[in-house]
Amino acid sequence: MEYKLISLINLIYFQVGLLMSVMSALIPNMIDSYQLSYQLASMLPFAFYIAFGFLCIPAGIANEKFSTKNVLLFSFLLALTGALLFAVFPNYYASVVSLFIIGSSLAIIQVSVVPLLRDTCGAENLAFHSSLNQLCYGAGAFLSPHIYSYLTSGLLDQNRDKGFIFKLLNNIIPRNYEWISAYWLFAVLLFSTFIFISTVKFPKKKREEKETGSGVNLQFFKSKYVILYFVALMLYASCEQGIAIWMSEFFQEYHGLDPQTNGAAILSWYWILLSVGCLGGMLLLKLYDSRRVLAILSVFAIISFSIGLYSGTGVAKWVFPLVGLFESVMWPIILSLALNSVDKHHESLTGFLYTASIGGAFGPFIIGTFSDISGLRSSLNYIYLPLLFIAFIIFWAKPIIKNKLID
């Protein structure tokens, strides 16, 4: 049961990576197809991540009241609805709505699987297995731009001897919107996972007579450490997505690289390095204190980002994606420090903390808004703020496991 559930959770994170990464690769195409300013383009990831602000806390409460299996089935059905809406109605407003729906579903999914993972592997192994989840997330995120590039190039290549899949996609996708083809594939994968989850037996939850709902979340707001961890997670999300959303457009504007080929490849390297970095991060977490690991990785991320942002094309296309390597275990470390410092209400706390994913909305939006005023390269300097805040966590974070954040 334990290994089967852990494998299922890793599969779920792989699909989350697919859905979250493809949006970054599509931004240049959306800007061209919909004739968008940077600010309007930033509303697409904004709609996706703002959903976390609305859904994470209710998802945490729902997981204390209902079975994890039923909550996951609902969330995958919701994600399937959003993917189909995006694929069937390729216009700007439908895209905003569909991305909000997909973001809502992924918020519920992530809030649901973290407590399940903690109960399955144990609190002492949570940071390690959370990093393994991040590895699977990164693998999905790495493949997503390649899937997008392969499908789009195949549909655009008039000289190619196309098989059944490409012929089918040609019949259902409007001309000049070939870039939405990835969402048709993701719809099939989501439906398959929905069927698979329905066949898996989940462990029964231990029901405890505890306060739930608004009373618990009020306790979280009263804890300065919970708030600090929340801010750290929000800033991390704004950093990760701020880089991912605008990376391909950055290389198109300042280095003249095609977003469908070179841009997608560079973006995929960002995600694969984030994925590979989890392997090294997992080893470091076995050897060193997680707070020290977090601080050191933050410093290296700042150095790599600075070189990538201001160097020439030859250096930038290799060094810029390296930021993903150093970001790889930041989220799981911060999340684990918070969860392992609390002795109860882990479902509700997970929902509360995952609300910080809303930072993924504000990071790209802030960068996009200022890009219309001062240029994309200048506005990307915002990334220094979250990386510096994360580096300073070492000065206030408490040791894990027995330090309560709430009474």
**Residue ranges per domain, the chain?**
2-200+219-395
Nearest Cα residue to 79 out of 50, 107, 45: 107
Mean pLDDT along residues 5-17: 86
Range in 86-90, 97-101, 323-327, 346-350 with the lowest mean pLDDT: 346-350
Is the predicted pLDDT of residue 88 greater than 50, yes or no?
yes
Residue 217 confidence (pLDDT): 61
Q: Alpha-carbon distance 113 to 354, whole Å?
A: 12
254 neighbors 376 (Cβ within 8 angstroms)? yes
The burial class, CB within 10 Å (0-12 / 13-18 / 19+), for 336 is buried
State the CATH class of domain 2-200+219-395: mainly alpha
What stretches of 208-289 show up as alpha helix (H) in DSSP? 214-222, 224-255, 264-287
Q: Between residues 370 and 122, which one has the greater pLDDT?
A: 370
Residue 403 confidence (pLDDT): 42
Percent pLDDT > 70 in the chain is 88
Average pLDDT of the chain to the nearest whole number: 83
CA distances from 326 to 79, 273, 296, 383 (A): 30, 8, 9, 14
Q: What is the pTM of this model?
A: 0.74
254 neighbors 317 (Cβ within 8 angstroms)? no
Query: Which tens digit of pLDDT belongs to each residue from 150-204?
Result: 888 877 776 656 677 778 888 888 877 888 888 888 898 899 999 988 888 887 7
Residue 104 confidence (pLDDT): 92
Is the predicted pLDDT of residue 252 greater than 60, yes or no?
yes
Residue 322 confidence (pLDDT): 93
What one-letter code names the amino acid at 66?
F
Residue 389 confidence (pLDDT): 94
**89 Rama class: left (phi>0) / alpha (psi -120 to 50) / beta:** beta
373 neighbors 312 (Cβ within 8 angstroms)? no
Q: Dihedral of CA 105/106/109/115: which sign?
A: negative
**160 Rama class: left (phi>0) / alpha (psi -120 to 50) / beta:** beta
Highest mean pLDDT among 58-72, 243-257, 282-296: 243-257
CA distances from 203 to 1, 117, 120, 147, 369 (A): 8, 11, 9, 35, 46
Q: Alpha-carbon distance 22 to 148, whole Å?
A: 7
What stretches of 289-405 show up as alpha helix (H) in DSSP? 290-310, 313-319, 322-327, 330-339, 346-354, 359-374, 376-379, 384-391
Is the predicted pLDDT of residue 399 greater than 60, yes or no?
no
Highest mean pLDDT among 104-113, 278-287, 392-401: 104-113
Query: Which tens digit of pLDDT belongs to each residue from 322-333?
Result: 999 999 888 888
What single-letter DSSP state applies at residue 402? S
Residue 140 confidence (pLDDT): 85
Question: The tokens of 92 are what?
Answer: 């700007």
Is the predicted pLDDT of residue 214 greater than 60, yes or no?
no
Mean pLDDT along residues 28-44: 86
Question: The tokens of 135 are what?
Answer: 């590895």
